[in-house]
Amino acid sequence: MDLDAAQAAVERACEEFRSPATAAAASSTLLAFRSAPGVLQVCRHILDRSPSLDARFHAAAALREAVVRDWATLGPDGRAGLRAYLLSYLVAHAEDPGMAIVRSTLVSAAAVLAKRSWLEAGEGEAFFRELDAATTSAPTAASPAAAAAARLVGIALLESTVGEFCVATASPLGLPLEHHAKCAADLQENYLQGIFRHAVGLGRAAAASGDGSTAAACLSLLAAVLAWDFRRSPTAPHPAALRPPAARPPGTGSGAQAPAPSAGSDWASLLLAPDTLDWVAALLSQLSVPGAASSREARELVDRARAVVVAMCNLSPDVFPREGADALSRPGGGVRGGYLRAVLRCVVAWVASPREVVAAAAAGDEAPLWEACKAILALATAHPPRMLEDAGNDVLAAAGTPAAAAASGGGGFLALLQALTLEVIRASCAYPAHSLEQWASECRDMLVEAWALMVQRDSSGANQALLPLAVGGLGPPTLPGLAEAAAGVFSGLVEAALTAADREAAGEGDDREEVAAENEAAEAEAEDARMAEAAALARAAPAAAFPLLAAAMAAAQQQLLAAAAGGGSGGPAWASALERLCWLVRMAAHALADSGAGETPLMPLPLSLAAEGGGGAAAVGAVVGLTQALLELPALALRDGASSVLSPRLMESVVWALARWADTYLFPEEAEAEGLPPALVSAYATRGPGSGAESVADGIARLACTCLVKYPGEFSLHAAVCTTLLPVLSRRRPLCACLLDASPAWNELAGAMASRQPALTAGLEPKLQRWLAQCLAQAACGFPSSTPVESPHVGVAAAAAVAAAAAANVSGYINRLLGPTAAEVRSLAARPDLAALTSRADVAAALIGMLEVLRGGACRGVASAGPAARVAAWGLLAELLGPLLALQAAFGEHPGVGGRLLKLAAAVVEHHVGYLPTDQAHMLMGWVLGLLRQYRQGRAARVSVAAAVAAAAEAAAGGRRPGGGGGASGAAALAADAAHDAARELKALLELLTHITQRDVALAAAASEGWGADSSAGSTPRSVNMGAGGGAGGTPRAASNGNAAAAAAAAAEADSGVAQVVLTGLDVLLPLLTPELLAAATAAGAGGGGGGGTGGKLARLLFSLLGYMTEVHPAAVVALPPPHFTTLLSCLEAGARGAISPPAAAGQAGGAASGAAAGSSAASGFDGVVVQSALEGLAGLAKFHHQSLLNGGRGFVSQTAPASGGGGGGGPLAPYLVSLLLEVALLGDAGPEVVELVGDGLLPLLQAEPAAFQGLGTALVQNADPRVQGQVGAALARLVAPDAAAAGGAANGGGAAAVAAAANMGLDTSVLDLGRLGRRAFKERLCGVVAELRGLLRVR
């Protein structure tokens, strides 16, 4: 018989599978069996008859797959029959221990079957009814053991069902997500509570009767239900969903994962009923008697019970009914109190004696500790600490065990928690950070996080209902004992950190250093998060914790001095003192100040509230004390010879810590200073003889100097000073004023930079020189009244005089700061032997530094220092324009200098072009033009050859080692490097051009009427002249003529300057964009890789610039000389097709392979930004044409489309554009947003050039499949004339005629107009037509 044969085959395969020789063949047989059609019958046959367990298992697995696959062919009766069969089979074989795996497979098959047909009416009911009948009712006739086994099967099936229905753990059914969601919602709505109740009932009974296995099964079912991903049904939003969820403070995301949405208040009666948990607690206490849980089953039972308790602890606050404050503060604590007591009774029991628990964990049994920590963290997240403590105290009192009492010292719950935390901290100290014993550090992190949450949540006893967002620290803890306990924990943390520091200092090996280097950043971040939590503890009790920290710092400092005095620099004592100080200064900064990232730094809220509160003086004193301790270290560093004692790493920490502190406390802006307590204001924000603030600021500035000068070659320290500390010092006006006025160190630093001291030039990386110059220049904002003072008491003239004096001050400062550098650049450029100097490494290095200083100081720095500084800097730069051109001519080929020169030019344009008067702007534009031309002369031909060589070298390397990207040969690496350099320069160039367009914005603001007239004026003779001048190399001035009114002329002239410069730049740029560069660009854009980041940006910059130019300056673009215009257009075309290819190649690809290019768009890194910009550019061109024709101009008739062989002469432009746009829309699968962009360009073209559309439409119709020609014609006709659609459609077979007729009607401006409504209607029509045409054109 067939079934028997199949059974035999499967059994044989199972046999053969055991032998390695035949395993492969056997596994393929089994796989084929699984996917064979109509396998269900065979499966049942095997399950019923086969003696082989293996065969049965494979049959079960095949059945599970077949249920999904063949479900549709089964029919309702077949499904019901299969379900009944499965249930009866499971029950019948429930007792056989060898069948466990077969059973579990079948259980999941049954769950899948149930879910697959769940949404049919009555299925759910039927499933549970049959399940109940099969597992509880029927087997009562048989032996009690059989009944128990059947019950177990039922529970397992329920658990599997819950898992299957939960969206996160569902198996794929080949059905949309919606089906899963509906099933989940239905189960949650109608059955889940029943399942829970059922499990509780069964479990309670089993626990009472000592049936361990049933109890364990019930517990895991409970855990599965509690882990359910609760979602509110969209129809009936739960009231809790309207409230913002209880937010967790940012930065405390570590430790426990954020709990899934938990059950809502409709579950309250079920979850919070006392008898839900009491049997679990009883079970646990019964099993926690020493010796009770010796067997494996018992241990498993305990584990599951713990898991259920932890899951219960994770309930969100939404579950709990709203209770008044009085109910919560009653003895017993209302419903929530009752719940807390119930769970805490279990949890506290696990950790009743902290020392023993931790010792047990160390001995290998860490589960109780781990689970308890999870539970405590979850409870601390969701519940106010006051309630927790009340409940905990009650539980402890009730337990009354001597051990607990002894451990907690009679201090109640908080004391117990503190003791536990301290024990865990101690234990985590005993294990190094990277050891395999993860539990210690993880438990420590969880407990500390719980403490941090508790001190931050304990907000003056506020009612949760009143303050749903009460997390986040509203003041000092009000719960008696909490602050003290937190301080105790904090001191434990400090102690542990100091011990860890000693160990770090002593045991440093090279191998560990390597490991650490790999994930250094991640570790530093985690350490920062830990410190932030510890800081929360310290801030809760500043009066206790801060002096502790200060004392520890003083002690470590003494230790350091002693070690240094004993000549022990380099010894273990020295190293451990340094390591301790590193940790302590960072901790102190964390405790004193928030990071202030992205916002105005303020004094941390707990501290400022503590300072305002009753014990304010003590808190302020603590802050001052800790600050003084923190400031001790810089004082130490300023002594002679300190650099040999204080390591660079420590200085880095000190610099970081001081920057953080200074950002909050040192001379804040007035508005921020109001938040500071008066004592702190007078200490650190007031100038004058009585205050030490000036000397503090001076000291910090001197520290910056010292770090830069006394620690040569310490790159990361220099970077910390230049990019972290100095920006903080130069950000705020009052602080800058103080530094400029009263800090000799700051002025020394500025003087040293100005006079180009070796330590700040040759000894500092160019990038850092730029930062330094930027910060120093930025500080010019601190000059008094460098902003005009609006005072009623001062007359206008006096105010003007004051402002002038201030401006003189500022410009004096800027000139002193940057003048020498500028002079140096000038004198270098004027050297007669400049050509010979270009080979000198030192000259190039110095020049690079000077260019960076100018970029930082004269561009970025002054931009934030106000108008006076900007004017002064421009004065310097204006004299440098000529010399910089000379330097570019000489040094342009130097890889470092050339790129930086372009970057400097980009920065000059970015920060100055918007503010210059017209003549100056023209000077700048002319300079940029010169720069561009010179760059082209230097680069144009050569780069492409170099790139070809590079490509050849890469091809050769790739040929030798196919796929071997890792070890590129030296030459290839050099070539790749050269390509990188080129890409960087091109990016700078593009940025330069993009920034030039800012001038447009400035002009638009200045002379909006002239601007508006010009942009819509179409092809006037003036712009044609201008464009021709650009091609021939004329100056911007040559473009102007006297036709227009004076204001418009000025605007237009400058405007034309913009267009001319940018277009010349593009002319330079486009030939340089090699295929490799843009290919790398797209690849990098798609992959988001770090190395090619320049590339992705490059393409985007290029196309947005192109799009901008054709949109805003279409007249100038159209007036370009034809070859240039063609290049531009091919580039736009390449972008619009999404297939990024260089203009040269695009010229070839453009005409030849229209379909292929569009088809490849999806494959070759489709970049939305690029396509959008390119299409916008094309639309701009089309609109210009339309407008120009309306005004009687010629539009872009003078230009021709790119020919297929590259270059111009490819026929008239309009048909080309229409066909390009239609191709983009029709071929490929661009989304509606792209089609709408196409519509923007298509509409004006259709209106202006109906003939072009007609020709193309006719061609489209004729090329289409004969069967659909009529429909294609009708669709195209509908595009231009919706009303004519009926007529066109009726003319079946005459599609071409319909198009022609409709296209002629298209000229009717009442049908198509360019108003917003008309555009929108057209776009909608286009989307519909495109969808239809896509389908029609693909008919094969």
Partner 1 sequence: MSDHEVETFDSADAGASLTFPQQAGTVRKNGYMVMNNRPCKVVDVSTSKTGKHGHAKCNFTGIDIFTGKKYEEMTPSSHNVDVPNISRKEYTVIDITDEGIVSMMDEGGNTRDDLFLPKGTDEADKLAEIMQQHWADQKEMAITVVKAMGEEMINSVKVINEKS
Among 400, 792, 970, 1192, binds partner 1 (CB under 8 A): 970
Measure the CA–CA gap between 859 and 1297, rounded to whole angstroms. 64
Measure the CA–CA gap between 336 and 331, rounded to whole angstroms. 12
Q: How far is the CB of 876 from partner 1 (least distance, A)?
A: 14
953 contributes a contact to partner 1 by CB under 8 A: yes
Contact 355, 408 (CB under 8 A): no
Side-chain-side CA neighbours of 60 within 13 Å: the count stands at 24
Amino acid at 901: L
750 contributes a contact to partner 1 by CB under 8 A: no
Stretch that binds partner 1, among 137-145, 820-828, 1148-1156, 1207-1215 (CB under 8 A): 820-828
88: tokens are 């009866």
Stretch that binds partner 1, among 328-336, 750-758, 1122-1130, 1183-1191 (CB under 8 A): 750-758
893 contributes a contact to partner 1 by CB under 8 A: yes
Subset of 579-608 contacting partner 1 (CB under 8 A): 579
971 contributes a contact to partner 1 by CB under 8 A: yes
956 contributes a contact to partner 1 by CB under 8 A: yes
Contact 586, 653 (CB under 8 A): yes
Stretch that binds partner 1, among 180-188, 843-851, 1103-1111, 1296-1304 (CB under 8 A): 843-851
758 contributes a contact to partner 1 by CB under 8 A: yes
896 contributes a contact to partner 1 by CB under 8 A: yes
Stretch that binds partner 1, among 738-746, 832-840, 859-867, 872-880 (CB under 8 A): 832-840
Measure the CA–CA gap between 645 and 561, rounded to whole angstroms. 8
837 contributes a contact to partner 1 by CB under 8 A: yes
Please give the C-alpha separations between residue 1167 and each of 1173, 1174, 1285, 1301, in angstroms, as whole numbers: 10, 11, 36, 38
Measure the CA–CA gap between 833 and 842, rounded to whole angstroms. 15
Q: Which of 1092, 1229, 1067, 1077 is nearest to 1141 (CA)?
A: 1077
Which of 517, 551 has the CB closer to partner 1? 517
111: DSSP letter: H
945 contributes a contact to partner 1 by CB under 8 A: yes
Residues 6+ apart with CB under 8 A from 561: none
Which of 338, 819 has the CB closer to partner 1? 819
Which residues lie across from 1212 on neighbouring strands?
1200
650 contributes a contact to partner 1 by CB under 8 A: yes
Q: State the sign of the Cα–Cα–Cα–Cα dihedral 173, 177, 181, 182.
A: negative
Pattern 759-798, binding to partner 1, x per CB under 8 A? ---xxxxx--------------------------------
Element counts in the chain: helices (H) and strands (E): 66, 0
Stretch that binds partner 1, among 92-100, 425-433, 836-844, 1300-1308 (CB under 8 A): 836-844
Contact 186, 121 (CB under 8 A): no
Which of 972, 1321 has the CB closer to partner 1? 972
469 contributes a contact to partner 1 by CB under 8 A: no
Rounded to 5°, the CA angle 602-744-594 comes to 15
Q: How far is the CB of 983 from partner 1 (least distance, A)?
A: 12
Which of 758, 1209 has the CB closer to partner 1? 758
Contact 1296, 1282 (CB under 8 A): no
Residues 6+ apart with CB under 8 A from 260: 168, 227, 228, 229, 230
Among 96, 508, 528, 1308, binds partner 1 (CB under 8 A): 508
Contact 1108, 1000 (CB under 8 A): no
Q: How far is the CB of 753 from partner 1 (least distance, A)?
A: 11
Stretch that binds partner 1, among 372-380, 544-552, 893-901, 1291-1299 (CB under 8 A): 893-901
1083 contributes a contact to partner 1 by CB under 8 A: no
How many residues touch partner 1 (CB under 8 A)? 68
Measure the CA–CA gap between 247 and 809, rounded to whole angstroms. 51
Q: Which of 1172, 1143, 1135 is nearest to 1069 (CA)?
A: 1143
977 contributes a contact to partner 1 by CB under 8 A: yes
Measure the CA–CA gap between 752 and 766, rounded to whole angstroms. 16
545 contributes a contact to partner 1 by CB under 8 A: no
Please give the C-alpha separations between residue 1275 and each of 826, 1063, 1284, in angstroms, as whole numbers: 68, 40, 10
969 contributes a contact to partner 1 by CB under 8 A: yes
Q: Which of 1312, 1304, 1264, 1272 is nearest to 1291 (CA)?
A: 1272
578 contributes a contact to partner 1 by CB under 8 A: yes
Measure the CA–CA gap between 1187 and 1182, rounded to whole angstroms. 9
Among 390, 394, 445, 714, binds partner 1 (CB under 8 A): 714
Contact 894, 838 (CB under 8 A): yes
950 contributes a contact to partner 1 by CB under 8 A: yes
836 contributes a contact to partner 1 by CB under 8 A: yes
Task: Identify each DSSP E strand in 634-769 by its residue range.
Answer: none
Measure the CA–CA gap between 748 and 743, rounded to whole angstroms. 9
524 contributes a contact to partner 1 by CB under 8 A: no
Q: How far is the CB of 940 from partner 1 (least distance, A)?
A: 8
433 contributes a contact to partner 1 by CB under 8 A: no
Please give the C-alpha separations between residue 972 and each of 258, 962, 975, 1311, in angstroms, as whole numbers: 49, 14, 5, 60
Which of 803, 976 has the CB closer to partner 1? 976
843 contributes a contact to partner 1 by CB under 8 A: yes
Contact 1068, 940 (CB under 8 A): yes
Q: How far is the CB of 1319 from partner 1 (least distance, A)?
A: 47
Which of 804, 973 has the CB closer to partner 1? 973
649 contributes a contact to partner 1 by CB under 8 A: yes
233: tokens are 């049904």
266 contributes a contact to partner 1 by CB under 8 A: no
Q: How far is the CB of 1072 from partner 1 (least distance, A)?
A: 13
823 contributes a contact to partner 1 by CB under 8 A: yes
Among 659, 726, 854, 957, binds partner 1 (CB under 8 A): 957
573 contributes a contact to partner 1 by CB under 8 A: no
Q: Which of 418, 431, 439, 319 is nearest to 374 (CA)?
A: 439
Which of 326, 842 has the CB closer to partner 1? 842
Subset of 1087-1116 contacting partner 1 (CB under 8 A): none
The b/e string for 851-876 (b: 16+ C-beta within 10 A; e otherwise) is bbbbbbbbbbbbbbbbebbbbbbbeb
Which of 768, 1284 has the CB closer to partner 1? 768
Q: Which of 931, 955, 1158 is nearest to 1065 (CA)?
A: 931
Which of 568, 615 has the CB closer to partner 1? 568
Ramachandran category for residue 881: left, alpha or beta (phi over 0 → left; psi -120 to 50 → alpha): alpha
Subset of 137-176 contacting partner 1 (CB under 8 A): none
Which of 570, 678 has the CB closer to partner 1? 570
Pattern 1028-1047, binding to partner 1, x per CB under 8 A? --------------------
Measure the CA–CA gap between 918 and 480, rounded to whole angstroms. 70
Which of 980, 1097 has the CB closer to partner 1? 980
Stretch that binds partner 1, among 166-174, 803-811, 818-826, 1175-1183 (CB under 8 A): 818-826
Among 654, 828, 904, 996, binds partner 1 (CB under 8 A): 828
Chain residues in the site for partner 1 (CB under 8 A): 504-505, 508, 513, 517, 574-575, 578-579, 647-650, 712-716, 755-758, 762-766, 820, 823-824, 827-828, 831, 833, 836-843, 845-846, 893, 895-896, 941-942, 945-946, 948-950, 952-953, 956-957, 969-975, 977, 980-981
